[in-house]
Amino acid sequence: MLEGKRITLGITGGIAAYKTAELVSSLVKAGADVQVAMTTSAQKFITPLTFEVLTGNPVHTDLFQNDFSGGVLHIDLAQKTDLLLIVPATANIIGKAANGIADDLVSTLIMAATCPIMFCPAMNVAMYNNPICQINISKLKDCGYHFVEPASGRLACGVTGKGRLAELTTILQSIDQILTPQDLAGLKVLVTAGPTREPLDPVRYLTNRSSGKMGYAIANAAALRGAKVILVSGPTHITPPDLVDIVQVETAIEMHDAVLKHSDSSDLIIKAAAVADYRPVEISDHKIKKQADSMTVPLQKNPDILGNLGTRKQEKQVLVGFAAETHDLELYAKSKLINKNLDLLIANDVTLPGAGFDSNTNIVRIFWTDGTIEALPKMEKGQVAEEILDRAAKILRTRRGES
């Protein structure tokens, strides 16, 4: 997402300034070209040298440092930026920006920039809650500036409350969101992820090897592209993305109920979950004790959630299913595409290294209703998610009569 993006970071004078070194390092690692501008106060907390080393670029500290060919520093920097970040944003810089004051390089950059601008406030809780600061924040939000809310916790001044700089992952996710084209804005996307667990007794269950990575990657990508995302997830170890509404379920029946609750109002449904086809007929209310050398557990069929969605699919709704296969992939994929009334079927041969369960990558073939089969190379699940969303968005646009 950040490859080749030009990001300017304005650092102002708060103790959280030291945390910006890690932020800059993450941005550079993600491929961004990072320029840093610092206020005089910021330089009391951390030195420009740190950022010169991390970015490989000179650090800008002086509004009147017009020593490079043919440009006025603040105008040149502001124009060559895709995103201006103000981290940490003190009450002072927020107040200046809200009132049009431009008396140093960072505040002048804010006035001169036409790109998106994102403030990450960090300050003492009383300063943050001060009505003047809150009015200034509201004013800036009304003008279209972005804010990443500070977190609550123990502050450097010893007080506990809201005012800590937001977590790095939250800041990075907000940056991704701002820089991502919002082609799914206004759409509701329902995604399922992970395995289901079908209990046998209070201590045992039947499940499968799904980690949830594929479904979570789709949910995250759709949210970054502006969709309202409901993620119905079986048990996983993944932290839910900030931007999605998560519904945690355990069994196939719970997943069925949660999915059907949201399906009619969804524009796009993507079922990446690995749902157990069968569940034990009886759940013992006590631990089943070891007895004979062998035992048989009677199973009954779970509802086919995707099949039910296909039956009740609305005219403009797009339905995408997955198929995890170990053999005869094409045969099974085609039959699932047709029998479940899908618009796209994403098939993965889970026997291939780097594909299917638990890996960070996947190798998928995409089956279209006109008979087209696209074979994608091995890619990160995040990239697979983008490829699926690109195609689903195209079908949605056609169905809605949009270009």
- Active-site residue numbers? 157
Contact 323/345 with Cβ under 8 angstroms?
Answer: yes
Complex with ligand PMT: residue 161 or 235, whichever CB lies closer: 235
Among 74, 96, 197, 213, binds ligand PMT (CB under 6 A): 213
Among 273, 337, 344, 392, binds ligand PMT (CB under 6 A): 273
Shortest CB 217 distance to ligand PMT, Å? 8
Q: Tell me the CA distances in angstroms from 142 to 146, 163, 174, 218, one per residue in order.
A: 10, 21, 18, 31
Shortest CB 364 distance to ligand PMT, Å? 7
Complex with ligand PMT: residue 309 or 393, whichever CB lies closer: 309
3-state secondary structure the chain: CCCCCEEEEEECCCHHHHHHHHHHHHHHHCCCEEEEEECCCHHHHCCHHHHHHHHCCCCECCCCCCCCCCCCHHHHHHHCCCEEEEEEECHHHHHHHHCCCCCCHHHHHHHHCCCCEEEEECCCHHHHHCHHHHHHHHHHHHCCCEECCCEEEECCCCCEEEEECCCHHHHHHHHHHHHCCCCCCCCEEEEEECECCEEEECCEEECCCCCCHHHHHHHHHHHHCCCEEEEEECCCCCCCCCCCEEEECCCHHHHHHHHHHHHCCCCEEEECCECCCEEECCCCCCCCCCCCCCCCCCEEECCCHHHHHHHCCCCCCEEEEEEEECCCHHHHHHHHHHHCCCCEEEEEECCCCCCCCCCCEECEEEEECCCCEEECCCEEHHHHHHHHHHHHHHHHHHHCCCC
Shortest CB 220 distance to ligand PMT, Å? 13
Shortest CB 41 distance to ligand PMT, Å? 46
Complex with ligand PMT: residue 118 or 273, whichever CB lies closer: 273
Among 155, 190, 272, 388, binds ligand PMT (CB under 6 A): 272
Using the contact rule CB under 6 A, the part of the chain among 40-48, 291-299, 304-312, 394-402 near ligand PMT is: 304-312
Among 83, 97, 222, 275, binds ligand PMT (CB under 6 A): 275
Does residue 60 touch ligand PMT according to CB under 6 A?
no
Among 37, 356, 382, 386, binds ligand PMT (CB under 6 A): 356
Using the contact rule CB under 6 A, the part of the chain among 2-10, 50-58, 108-116, 300-308 near ligand PMT is: 300-308
Residue 188's closest CA among 146, 231, 242, 217? Answer: 231
Using the contact rule CB under 6 A, the part of the chain among 140-148, 166-174, 198-206, 355-363 near ligand PMT is: 355-363
Complex with ligand PMT: residue 101 or 260, whichever CB lies closer: 260
Shortest CB 2 distance to ligand PMT, Å? 24
User: The dihedral of CA 159, 163, 164, 170: what is its sign?
Assistant: positive
Using the contact rule CB under 6 A, the part of the chain among 95-103, 114-122, 165-173, 272-280 near ligand PMT is: 272-280
Ranges within 331-350 binding ligand PMT (CB under 6 A): 336, 348, 350
Contact 137/162 with Cβ under 8 angstroms?
Answer: no
Using the contact rule CB under 6 A, the part of the chain among 16-24, 137-145, 240-248, 267-275 near ligand PMT is: 267-275
Ranges within 174-193 binding ligand PMT (CB under 6 A): 192
Among 210, 220, 263, 266, binds ligand PMT (CB under 6 A): 210
Shortest CB 281 distance to ligand PMT, Å? 16
Shortest CB 252 distance to ligand PMT, Å? 5
Using CB under 6 A as the criterion, which residues of the chain lie in contact with ligand PMT when the complex forms?
Answer: 192, 210-214, 252, 271-275, 277, 302, 304-306, 321-324, 336, 348, 350, 356-358
